[in-house]
Each structure stands twice: as structure tokens, then as C-alpha cells.
Amino acid sequence: MEPFTKLTANALPVARPNVDTDQLLPARYLQKPRSAPFGDFLFRDLRFNADGSEKPDFVLNKPFYRDAKIVVAEENFACGSSREHAVWALYDYGVRAVIAPSLGDIFSSNAAKNGLLTIILPAPVVAGMIEALQAEPDLEVAVDLEAQTVSLPNGPAHLFEIDPYRKRLLLEGLDELGFTLTQLPAIEAFEKTYAG
Amino acid sequence: MAQTLFDKIWNEHVILDREDGQTLLYVDSHFLQDGSAPAFEMLRQRGVKPRVPERAFGTPDHYVPTDSRDLASIKDPEKRAMADALREDTAAAGIEFFGLNDPRQGIIHVVAPEQGMSRPGMLIVCGDSHTSTHGALGSLAFGIGASEVAHVLATQTLWQRKPRTMHVTLNGALHPGVTAKDIILALIAKISAAGATGYAVEYAGPAIDALSVEGRMTVCNMTIEAGGRAGMIAPDEATFAYLKGRPFAPTGADWDKAVAAWRALKSDPDAVFDREVVMDVGAIAPMVTWGNSPEEALPITGRLPQPADAATPEKREAMQRTMNYMGLQPGMALGDITIDRVFIGSCTNGRLEDLQSAAEVVRGRKVAAGVEAWVVPGSGPVKAEAEALGLDRVFKDAGFQWREAGCSMCLATNGDSLAAGQRSASTTNRNFVGRQGPGSRTHLMSPAMAAAAAVTGRLTDVRDLLGSR
Ligand code: SF4
């Protein structure tokens, strides 16, 4: 997994609440292996017509947002199912950070395991960022994981909180399973006395 | 210190606490379905084998056909591979598996409780968000992603940060025609689709005590639709009666010992929760959703909102976009919405009690002209029990299709789907854009309400039909 430290990049404003994982990655792609081009399936039905042509009105199809590496979304982004494919779709498209006032629980934990940083900021801050990005699509958003800050050019640095564990996974590109396997003696000791 | 039900189960499963706030938890039972293939693939890539196969169990549900029990009848090779991969992966690992031709196959969240595999005090995970269902039996159960499924298979453990706790007290008594589904839809409408994000939710109160265990599963099932990590209900006599005699439940002296331990599984009277919500279920009418989020639910007697009344221009635009997608007019009466399809089933409402309550409405009536109505039992045993009660005849005589167990049109991954623009009355849990197929329009409701819609061809207050007989 690629470590995440700092990122300054274009950002995609998603100005709608409750964008669910079915929108991020429609269920019909769940049967695809991890090697499939999940970036092409991101926002599939919002982005493309049934015949495969682009929907020009959808925000990701607008020129300035196409190479966005950051998503700034309204509340409850990526709610719904546990499909890790929703993370893969964002990641394969090139997105490395998602900023929102609130996020689906399982999505956040899936994200950290795949090198995608999720950031919670207060709703008014996020609303301000979305407005700024809509007004000036080529604005670059700067994310610094070490310092736990998000900022727009000439704007204040907004501090965000992150679970220290997730931070470490991301900063070091750490493989969680590898670490747990080093804890096997503790697991075995637990099992010896465990009645359940 | 006084403890909540959640604390008690959590503490029992702690292997170690780390200074960064994460806890390594021991997993009692790991349920697998036919979406688990990527996790097994991750393990193979690492050369790691499932560590405690006897603590896992699998049955295919998302990709199985519901018009036959023949895997070969799945024409799409990728779908067939998904349904089949679970058989191969579980066989290779020595994991218990109910295949398509096993009469006990069905939706994992229906099958595991039905078999007595989900029991009080257990920590249960599954790579599916509706794992919250099992909390209805007094367990701590939650959905995980593919990387976590691989982690649990490899270690039988999971890293978690302790969620906050929410206590939902449900007072009063339900009116006739109002069900567990209406309770949870009303609650989500009240606290929003993100209202329980970051929380483990415990439901309690007289209205929960009065619910059957099946109804409690419906409530816990949709906790994820409020964003909740887990939904749970303290076990009581009804729970014990439900579990007694089930194939995987303890027997004899073990049973007595288990019940004695289960009786202690309740929140202490002075336990403190991070959030308290109180609701009177006597004030709830049958609910239906009109939009694309489960929080967009209203009493059937209501009207759609007016975008013009929305608090902000963005909200107005969002509401209008939703109405456009759903093909609905601002302010229209919910009872004026006509439907094309009816789906009774899913892990939310595919159990025997659900089929009984729908059959009660359907009996002696006919599916309205132009409506295609399906019943998809949640499991093989649900189907068999319903048939023993003659419910299949009730549905078939009315013009319903009576199908084989699976997720079917809840998620449409097996090919059972709505056509673009079609509108369904559905007993499922998500009304997301395209959930039941691209362009599909879903209205969520209880089985009785879906049955009422089937026979009238429009969203209908089931109380009018129950009263008029
Ligand atoms: S019935 Fe629907 S919600 Fe339940 S497990 Fe199947 S697809 Fe998921």
C-alpha cells in the first residue's frame, strides 16, 4: 500500500448529501475482480448514460474536475453498504482523500486499509470549500496528514482529527494483517481461557 | 461501574487494548456470503489460510437465481462464478456451507438466526452491512469490508475503536396495521440517515418487549440505514424461546447454563449512554418512503414535501432532483402513487412473520391489473414453513409469483431487477438511486403495506383494507 503524507491537488465538489455507496459503485460491478478498472465504474450511473456516453452535467465530467485527487462532499458521504469496491473505485480513479462533515462508518474503515484518507471537517467549513471549488474549479486543496490540516490557497489551515491508528496505517502504508499476525501469541493466550 | 449491554459484550471479547485507542477483539462467529470472494482472494495472495474455520459459516444469497435452484441456470459467467466461489472457498478451508441445493440455504441474515447460530453475547461479523440484524438476539454484530473479512479469516480477530452508545427507548403500543418496519422507518425519519453514525444502538422499552424476535430483527437490520455501527436488543424470555431447539443452539445442561449467563446480558439500570432517543410508537402510522434516502419516509396519510419550502437553495435543488428521478410531483398525496412491481422479501422482511402479515392482506384478493408481484422467502426453511401453512397458495391464488430464497430484487445483483422507470413497493431496506436496477424507483414499506399496494395498484393505507373486511 502506498503511504500517504501530503497532497496538493484539484478537488471535486460533490454538493449533495447522502451520496451512498450504490452511487459510488453500482452493485452490478461487485462481481468484478480487484484487477478490473474500478476507476471507470466510479459514479458510473451519474457519470454516463446507458449507451456509455458522458452526462455533460455531472460534475466529474467538467474539465477542471477530471483529474481531481480529492473529493469534498456534503454530509453522510458513502453511507450504505460495506462494499470495499466503493473505495477501490475512488482510489483507482486517482482520489487519495475524501473530505466531508460525516461519512459512512464502514466506508471510512475500508478506506484506511486501502490508502485513502478520510477527513471529517465541520459542515460550514466543508460548505465553504464546496462553494469555493464551484466558483474556482482549478483551486488546489492542500492536505497534510502529518500536521492534520486542510487548506485552500491563501486560506486558513483547518485542523482535523484522525484516529491515531488510521493515521499510522496511512503514513506508513502499513499492512494491518501483517501486524496482527505478530500478535498471535496474545490471540492464542486469549483463546486458551475463552469460554465463548 | 454501571455497564451497558454493549460494554458487557465488548469487554468479554477484548484481547488487547493498544495505546492508540484500538482494541483487538475476538470474533465468535464469522458469516460469509457469495460476496466474500475478494477476501478469499486477498488471503490466497498472501498465502494465508483461514485460522479457525469452525467459527465461520457461509451460504450464497446475493447471486443465486430465485426461479430455480440450478446454479447452471445463471447465464452470466461472472455471477455464476461469484455464487460458486463461496462453495469452493469454504470447501478448501473446511468451513460449514449451505449450498444452493441445501434446503437450509437462504439470505445469511435470515439463515444464521434461524439455525440458532446467532446467540446472545456473541461477537458476530460478516462482510455485509446488514449484519446488524443479529443484534436482535442480544449479540454485538456488525458489517465489515473485504480487507477486514480477510483479516478475520486469517486471525479470528478484528481491530476496532469503541463506538459511542445510543439508547433508543420505544414507548407505547403499535396500532393494528403498524409493524416493526414502520418503527424503524419512523425512527430514521426522525434522527436522519446519519443520526446513528458512530454509535452502537441499543433498543429498549415496552414496544421492543412486545415485538417478536423476528420484528426485532427488522428493527436491528435497518440500524445501518441510520448510519449505526450495530443495533442490539437485550435478550429476554422471547429470545430464549426463539432459540430453544434450533439446530445450532446448545442443548441439555449446556442450554441451562447458557440461559443463566444470557440473563445477565442487559444494560445496568444506571448505565449511561452517549445519546438517548425516546419515541412513542403509538403515534406511528404505516410509513412509506418517497425519495432516495431511507430518511425520506412519511406516514402513508401524508403528502410529498414542497421543494419551495426547503431550508436552503441546495436542499430545494436536491429535493427537486429526487422528485424528478422518482417521477413524482411536489405536494402529491402518497396514496396517489401507482406502482408497477411489488417485492416481498429480503433480510429486512423475508421471514415467516413477514409473509404471514402480507398474506393476511392478500387473502381473498387479487393482484391489481398491470402489477407484477413477487414473494421471495428469506430462506429455504421460511419457504417450507410458509408452504406448510398454505401461504404459497394464498399468494399464488392472488397472482403473486412464489419464488426460491435469496436476496433477489433487494440489490438486483442476481439479475432480478426492475426495468428503468419502473416503480416498486418493496419490503427491502434501501431506496437508493438504481438500487433495484438502473433507473429503478423504490418505495420502502412493511410487508402488509406492500401487500396492500399489490392488490390496489397504488400506495395504500393497509388499515383501510384490514378494516374493510
Ligand atoms: S437481502 Fe438485500 S440487504 Fe439483505 S443481505 Fe441481501 S442484498 Fe443485502
B150·A114 Cβ contact <8 A:
no
* C-beta B62 within 6 A of ligand 1: yes
Report the separation in Å between the CA atom of B428 and the middle of ligand 1, taken as the mean of its atom positions. Answer: 8
Judge contact between B275 and B422, C-beta under 8 A. Answer: no
Judge contact between A186 and A146, C-beta under 8 A. Answer: no
SS3 content of chain A, % helix, strand, coil (to 5): 40, 20, 40
Q: Is the dihedral of CA A96, A102, A103, A109 positive or negative?
A: positive
* C-beta B221 within 6 A of ligand 1: no
Q: Which chain A residues in 81-140 lie under 8 Å from chain B, judged by CB atoms?
A: 81-84, 87, 102-106, 109-110, 113-114
φ and ψ of B150, to 5 deg: -60, -40
* C-beta B61 within 6 A of ligand 1: yes
pLDDT, tens digit (0-9, with 9 covering 90-100), for A108-163: 999 989 999 999 999 999 999 999 999 999 999 999 999 999 999 989 999 999 99
Give the model's pLDDT for residue B202.
98
- Name all contacts of B173-177 with Cβ < 8 Å and 24+ positions apart: B173/B206, B173/B207, B173/B210, B173/B281, B173/B282, B174/B207, B174/B210, B174/B281, B174/B282, B174/B284, B175/B282, B175/B284, B175/B285, B175/B463, B176/B463, B176/B466, B177/B286, B177/B448, B177/B461, B177/B462, B177/B463, B177/B466
Q: Is A20 within 8 Å of chain B by CB?
A: yes
- Measured by CA distance, the residue closest to atom 6 of ligand 1 is B407
Residue count of chain B: 469
pLDDT tens, position by position, for chain B (469 residues)? 899 999 999 999 999 998 888 999 999 999 999 999 999 999 999 999 999 999 999 999 999 999 999 988 888 999 999 989 999 999 999 999 999 999 999 999 999 999 999 999 999 999 999 999 999 999 999 999 999 999 999 999 999 999 999 999 999 999 999 999 999 999 999 999 999 999 999 999 999 999 999 999 999 999 999 999 999 999 999 999 999 999 999 999 999 999 999 999 999 999 999 999 999 999 999 999 999 999 999 999 999 999 999 988 888 999 999 999 999 999 999 999 999 999 999 999 999 999 999 999 999 999 999 999 999 999 999 999 999 999 999 999 999 999 999 999 999 999 999 999 999 999 999 999 999 999 999 999 999 999 999 999 999 999 999 875 4
φ and ψ of A139, to 5 deg: -60, 140
Q: Identify the closest residue of chain A to B325 by CA–CA distance.
A: A46
Give the model's pLDDT for residue A175.
81
Give the model's pLDDT for residue A174.
83
- Distance of alpha carbon B340 from the chain centroid: 23
Complex ipTM > 0.90: yes
Cβ contacts of B75 within 8 Å, gap of 6 or more: none
Report the separation in Å between the CA atom of B348 and the middle of ligand 1, taken as the mean of its atom positions. Answer: 8
List the Cα angle B439/B444/B445 in 5-degree steps.
150
Q: Is A148 within 8 Å of chain B by CB?
A: no
- Distance of alpha carbon B90 from the chain centroid: 24
Contacts of A32 in chain B (CB under 8 A): 78
Q: Is B193 within 8 Å of chain A by CB?
A: yes
For residues A24-39, average pLDDT: 96
* C-beta B134 within 6 A of ligand 1: no
Q: Is residue A29 scored above 90 in pLDDT?
A: yes
Give the model's pLDDT for residue A176.
87
Q: Identify the closest residue of chain A to B45 by CA–CA distance.
A: A34
In one-letter notation, the amino acid at residue B292 is N
